[in-house]
Amino acid sequence: MIVLASASPRRQDLLRNAGIPFAVQPADINETPLPGESPRDCAERLAKEKAVAAAGSRSQDYVLGADTIVVIDDTILGKPRDAEDASRMLRLLAGRTHAVITGVCVVGPVASRQLPVASKTTSETTLVTFCEMSADEIRDYVATGEPMGKAGAYAIQGIASRWISRIEGDYSNVVGLPVALVYRMLREQGAL
């Protein structure tokens, strides 16, 4: 069985829409970047930590961990703390191109009760270009609540789509899970 170590409804929808069967077991980890850690290394480390945390009680299953971060000017934008933080992030992104990196880790079944080791960890990067946004547009968008709980304070598949003028790479990665990469990884590990 495949276990998704995430409570994200977007990740669940992406897997379901791709016809990949799964169960859900969210992993609760500290998502703070380490000092000096590169954005890619951070996303991959967090994905691995989520997968390993959930795999502790799912030793017979394949566990999928993922973590999506938004990066601009080498600064990681996580989930906004509040409306003011969401507005700050959107001002940074407006009129510019940024990277969305999703780290992905698949932990395979283990024969013993020892903690499993990651079978495979990698990441996908997509470049996203935002149009300019006025202060009123930012305020009104934040007031919808959509930016909350999302890396970079936006949802490409929602209202924010009106300000996305270009993407280079995997669209599903920006939503929260690079489906084609995940499918290949699961096939390579024998989970599908």
Catalytic residues: 67
What are the DSSP calls for the chain, one per residue? -EEE----HHHHHHHHHTT---EE-------PPPTT--HHHHHHHHHHHHHHHHHTT-TTSEEEEEEEEEEETTEEE-S-SSHHHHHHHHHHHTTSEEEEEEEEEEE---SSSSPP--SEEEEEEEEEEEPP--HHHHHHHHHTSTTTTSGGG--TTTGGGGGEEEEES-HHHHHT--HHHHHHHHHHHT--
CA distance 190 to 192: 5
CA angle 123, 161, 128 (to 5 degrees): 35
Structure tokens that stand for 146 in this block: 């959509």
